[in-house]
Structure 1
Amino acid sequence: MTQVEVPQRLEDKTIQPIPPSERHGSARDLFTIWFGSNIMVLTVVTGALGTAVFQLPFWLTVVAILVGNLLGAVLMALHSAQGPQLGVPQMVQSRGQFGSYGALLVTVLVVLMYIGFFASNLVLAGQSLVAAGLPVGTSTGIVVVGVVAVIAVIFGYDLIHTYTRILTYLSGAALLLAFVWIIGVHGLPEGFASHGSVCIAGFMGTVTASALWQVAYAPYVSDYSRYMPADTGARPAFWSSYAGCSLGSIFPMILGAIVGVAVGEDVVAGLDQLTGPVGPAIILIFSLGIAATNSMNLYCGVLSTLTVGQTFAPAWSPGRVVRAVTAVALFLLALIAALAGQNNFMANWLNFITLLMTVLVPWTAINLVDYYLLRHGDYDVESFFRADGGIYGRVNVPAVCCYLIGAVIQLPFVSTTMYTGPAATAMGGVDLSWIVGLAVISPLYYFWAKAALRRSASVVVPSPESTDAALI
C-alpha cells in the first residue's frame, strides 16, 4: 500500500473511515503519544495511592505498580493494534460486537468516563499551576488548561500526535530531573525504608488502580492509530503502544510512591517540596502533560458523542465544525464537575477509577475475544454505519448480556470507600473484581457468541477489501 505523508493542519474527519490516501505515520508514533501523554501529575497521584492511601511500604507499592501496569498494558495494546486495520474510532468498531444499538450502552458510559477523566485532570492542572508559582488561582488554572485542550481538539489528530511527541522529550527530561534531584540532592524522605506495612488489600488496590490506568485507554486507544497505513502491522502497533504506555506510566507512578511516603495525599505540594528550586519547572512541564492528555480525553469523548448521534441518523457525516461545537459542550460539563469536586480529590479519584473498572472490564473482554479469537480482525466496516447494523444487526444479544453479567458479577468483589461487596469483605477488603470479570466473561462470550454465529444463517464473512469501505 502506498503511504501518503500529508498530515492535516486542521483535521476534517471525525468518525468516518480513514481512506488509504489519508493514511500516514508509523508505529513509533504510537510510542511517543502514549509515553509523552502519561508523564503528568495525575499519573504521579495514582502512584501515590499505594504509599499515601493504602499505606504500603515503598518496595511493595513498586511491585504493585509493575504488576498492574504490565498486565493492563497488554489489553490496552491489543486494542491499539486494531486501529490501522479498521480505520475507525474504537466505539464505532464496537458496533461489530454489540450491534448498532447495542453499542450505545457502552458508548454512553465511555462518554461519561471521558468527562470524569477530563474533570479530574482539570483539578490537578489548576493545583499544579498554583504550585508552579504562576499568578493564577486554582479555578483560573482549571479554565486555562481546559481551553488549551479544546483548541487541540479543534485542530485534531495530527496536532495531538505532535504535541505528545514533543512531550516525550520534554516531560521525560523533567521526570529524570525529578528523580535525580530527590534521590541525589534532596535525599529520600525520613523514615522512607520503614514506611507502611504489608497489606494484601492495599497491594491489590494498588494493582487494580495501576491496571485500570491502562485499561481506561482501551475505549479510545485505536482512535490514535486509525490514520496509520493498514500495513503498519499488528505486532509493531502492539509493542510500540505497550512500551510507550507502560514505561510512560510506571516511572511517574514510582515517583508518586516516593512523594506519598514524604507527604501523604497532598501530592502536588509534596512534589514541589521534594524538588526544591527546580520543582516549579517540573510541575509546570507535568501540567503540559495534563493538557495533552485532556486533549486526548476530550477528542475521544467528542468522537464517542458523535457516534451516539450518528446511530440515530445513519446518513449524517459530522465534520470539523460539529467536532468543535461538541468539544466546547463537553468541556463545559467537565468544567462544572471540576469546579465542584476540587476538595477531597484523592478519595474521589480512587472511587472513580474503581467504578470504571466494573464497566470497562467486560467491554474489553468482549471486544478482544471477538476481534482476535472469533473474527480474527475481519470486519465489514460498511456495516458499522448502516441503520440496521448491517451484518451485525441492531443488537447482538450475547455481547449485551455478557456485558451486563460482567458488570454485575464484579460487584461482590469490589472494595471502595463508597461500597464494598460481600466477597471483598470476606477477603479482608481485597479487590479482585477486574480479575473475576475477565476470567468469567472472556470464555462465556467466546462460547456463547461462537454458538450464535454457527446458528445464524445470515452471517456473511466480509472480504478484506470491505475494511476500506466508505461511509454510506
Structure 2
Amino acid sequence: MDSQPARPPGDDLTPGPERIERRTIDVVPEDERHGRTRDLFTIWFSANLGPLTVVTGALAPTAFGLSFYWSLAALLVGHLGGGFLMALHSAQGPQLGVPQMIQSRGQFGSVGALAVVLVVIVMYQGFFASNLVVGAQSLGQVTPLGEGTGVLLCAVVSLAVAVVGYRLMHRIGAWTTWAFGAIQVVGAVYLFAGGLPSDFLTSGGFSVAGFLGMVSVGALWQIAYAPYVSDYSRYMPAHRAGVRSTLWCTYAGCVLGSVLPMVVGAAIGIAGDGDPIAALHHLLGSTLGQLTLWSFALVTMLTNSMNLYGAVLCAVTAVQTFAHRWLPRATGRAVIGAALTALSVALALALADSFMTNYLNLIYVLQYVLIPWTAINLVDFYLIRHGAYDVPSFFARDGGVYGRWNVTALAVYAIGILAEIPFMAQSLYTGPLAHALGDTDLGWIAGLVVTVPLYWLLAARSTHRDTPAPAPITGVPAA
C-alpha cells in the first residue's frame, strides 16, 4: 500500500501573501498553517452578497406565492437549519488539513467517493454559470457592456483570483465584507424606510407547499456550500481553529450574509415586475443603485472564484483516484480552471434566456443528492469516528484502511435518495406522497430522516475499532 501523498509536505509556498498557491488536494502541513477563524466570517459573509442571493430571495413571492412576512419566516427557518449543517463541515478543515471531497474518501472509499465528487463538479458548474448570468446583468445595468462581454469579463476575473488561490480569496473576502456589506445595509434601510410601495406588505399569501418549498431553497443554499466549505478552513492551525470557533464563525458569516440580500430579494419580488436586479436598481435610485450593482458584479467574481477553485480541487480528486501519484500544482490548477471556466461560459450563454427556470430546477436536483451525502459525512465524522481519521489512507492507491469502495456508505446514500422520491414535488416530477400532501416537497426531510439513523446504525457496527488514526480532535464528542 502506498500510503503517502506523491509530493512531500513542505515543498509548497512559504508564508507570504504575494505567492501563488501551489497546493491542490494534498495535506497542508502544520508549518504552513495560518489565519484566524474570524477570516471564515468575512469570506462567507462576502460570498453571499451577490445578485444571485437577491434573485434566490425573490423566489419566495414569485415562485412560491408567499407574502413578505411568510417569506421572511421561511428564509430564517431554512438558513438557520441548513447553515448549521454547513458549518459543521467547515470545522473539519483545520482538523484534517485536506479538501472536503478528499475527506469523503473516509466514508465512501477512494473510488466510491467519486459518486459524490462528480455530482459536486456539476453543482459548481451550475452555480458558476448562474453567477455569470446575474453578474453580467448587474454590469449591464451600470455599463454599456453587452451580456456576452459581461459574462466573459466576470469569468476571466474569477479565473485569475482562483489561480492565485486561497490567500487572495480570503483577503478579498475581508475587504468586500466591510465595503460592500455597508452598501447593502444602507440599501436595505433605504428600501424598507420608504423605497418600497406602500402595499408590498399586504401582497402575496401563504401555502404549506410554498412555505416548505422556500424553506428547502434556504436550507439547500447553505448545504450547497458543504462540499467545499472546509476547503477554506484547511490552512488554519488546528490548535487555534477549534471546532466551536470554526463552526460559529462560519455559521454567522454565511447565515447573516445570505439572509440580508434574500430578505431584500423577497421584498423586490413583491414590489418589482420581472427582473429583480433591474427592479432593485430602479427602487434604489441612481447613485445608491449603481453602487449596489457594482458591488454585485464584483462580489460575483469572488463567489465564482470560490466555485471554480472548488471545482478544480474536485476535478483533481477525480483524476487522482486512478492516477494516485498525480498531484498538480499552480500551473495544472490554472489549466484545469481555464477549461472549466470555458465550459461555464458556454453554459451561461446557453441558459441566459431561461435563467430562472433552469436555476430553480438546479436547486431542486442538488437538494436531493446533497442531503444524503451531508448526513453520512457528518454522522461519520462527529458520531462514529469523532474526528479520528488516517489521513495518509486518503491518498493510498488501494484506499488504505478505508478501501476503494465502502458498500455500506454507498448503499445508504442510494437508499437516502430513493427515500426522497415519493416526497419530491417540483416541475420535473411530483411523487405520490407529495401529491397527497398538496404538492408539498418534503424530499429533503425524508432524506435526512432515513439516512442519519440508518448510516449511524450500520456504520457503527462495521467500523473497525482498531483502525490506525490520530487521537480524537478537541471539541468532538467522545465515545
2:473 paired with 1:463: no
In 1: Cα distance, 2:229 partner to 2:472 partner: 24
Alpha-carbon separation, structure 2, partners of 1:95 and 1:415: 32
- Structure 2 residue 216 is the aligned partner of structure 1 residue 208: yes
> What are structure 2's unaligned runs of at least 5 residues?
1-13, 474-479
CA distance in 2, matches of 1:265, 1:318: 45
CA distance in 1 between counterparts of 2:250 and 2:84 reads: 9
Task: Find the partner of 2:204 among 181, 189, 196.
Answer: 196
Could you give the per-residue CA deviations for residues 272-292 of structure 1, whole angstroms, max 9, x where no partner exists? 111111212111101111111
For 2:174, the equivalent position in structure 1 comes to: 165
Match of 1:249 in 2: 258
Deviations 1:354-387 (A, max 9, x none): 1101110000000000000000000011000001
C-alpha displacement of 1:190: 4.1
What is the 5 A alignment of 1:99-118? 99-118=109-128
Secondary structure class of the residue paired with 2:468: coil
Normalised by the size of structure 1, how large is the TM-score?
0.95
Alignment partner of 1:263 is 2:295: no
Q: 2:353 aligns to what SS in structure 1?
A: coil
1:309-332 per-position Cα deviation (integer Å, ceiling 9, x unaligned): 111111112111110000000001
Equivalence for 1:144: 153
Residue 444 (structure 2) aligns with: 434
Pick from 412, 427, 431 the counterpart of residue 422 of structure 2: 412
**8 Å CA contact 2:78, 2:218 repeated in 1:** yes
Further displaced range: 310-319 or 210-219:
310-319
User: What CA distance in whole angstroms lies between the structure 2 residues aligned with 1:79 and 1:160?
Assistant: 19
Alignment equivalent of 1:284, drawn from 294, 304, 324: 294
Please give the residue correspondences for 1:55-66 in structure 2 after superposition, counting only pairs within 5 Å. 55-66=65-76
Q: Which amino acid aligns with 2:122?
A: L
**Which aligned pairs between 1:356-375 and structure 2 lie closer than 5 A?**
356-375=366-385
Preserved CA contact (<8 Å) 2:106 2:394: yes
1:71-90 matched pairs, under 5 angstroms: 71-90=81-100
Q: In structure 1, what is the Cα distance between the partners aligned to 2:47 and 2:357?
A: 24
Cα contact 2:195–2:284 (8 A) shared by 1: no
Residue 364 of structure 1 aligns to a residue whose secondary structure is: helix
Distance across 2 between alignment mates of 1:300 and 1:8: 21
Write the distance in 1 (CA, Å) between the matches of 2:335 and 2:197.
Answer: 47
Q: In structure 2, what residue type is equivalent to 1:351?
A: N
Question: Is the 1:398–1:448 Cα contact (8 Å) retained in structure 2?
Answer: yes
Match of 1:314 in 2: 324
Q: Deviations over 1:383-407 (max 9, x none)?
A: 0000100000000111011111111
Question: Using the alignment, how far apart are the partners of 2:405 and 2:325 within structure 1?
Answer: 19
SS for the counterpart of 1:196 is coil
Secondary structure (helix, strand or coil) at the match of 2:203 reads coil
How many residue pairs end up in the alignment? Answer: 458
- Preserved contact between residue 51 and residue 264 of structure 1 (Cα < 8 Å): no
What is the Cα deviation at residue 264 of structure 1? 4.2
2:238 counterpart of 1:230: yes
Q: 2:268–2:280: 8 Å Cα contact kept in structure 1?
A: yes
- 1:253-272 per-position Cα deviation (integer Å, ceiling 9, x unaligned): 00001100112441111111
Query: Mind listing any 5+ residue stretches in structure 1 that lack a counterpart?
Result: 467-472
Following superposition of structure 1 onto structure 2, how do residues 305-344 of structure 1 map, counting pairs within 5 Å? 305-344=315-354
TM-score normalized by the length of structure 2 = 0.93
Distance 2:290 2:351 in 1: 24
TM-aligned CA distance change 1:5 to 1:319, over 3 Å: closer
Shift of 1:465: 11
Identity of matched residues, %: 51
Offset, 1:8: 5.6
* 2:391 aligned residue: 381
Deviations 1:128-157 (CA, angstroms, capped at 9, x unpaired): 1111x2120011101100111100111000
Equivalent pair of 2:217/2:363 in contact (CA under 8 Å)? yes
Query: Are 2:41 and 2:252, in contact at CA under 8 Å, matched by a contact in 1?
Result: yes
Q: How does 1:112-131 map to 2 (within 5 A)?
A: 112-131=122-141
| Kept in 1: contact 2:387–2:472 (CA 8 A) | no
Q: Deviations over 1:151-195 (max 9, x none)?
A: 0111000011111111101221111121122233x5322421210
> How many angstroms apart in 1 are the aligned matches of 2:15 and 2:378?
30
Q: Distance in 2 between matches of 1:325 and 1:265?
A: 38
1:220-261 CA distances to partner (integer Å, 9 max, x unpaired)? 000000000011100000000000000001111000011001
Quote the offset at 1:53 in angstroms: 1.5
The AA in structure 2 aligned to 1:271 is L
Task: Report SS of the residue matched to 1:15.
Answer: coil
State the AA in 2 paired with 1:463.
P
CA deviation after TM superposition for structure 1 residue 9, in Å? 2.4
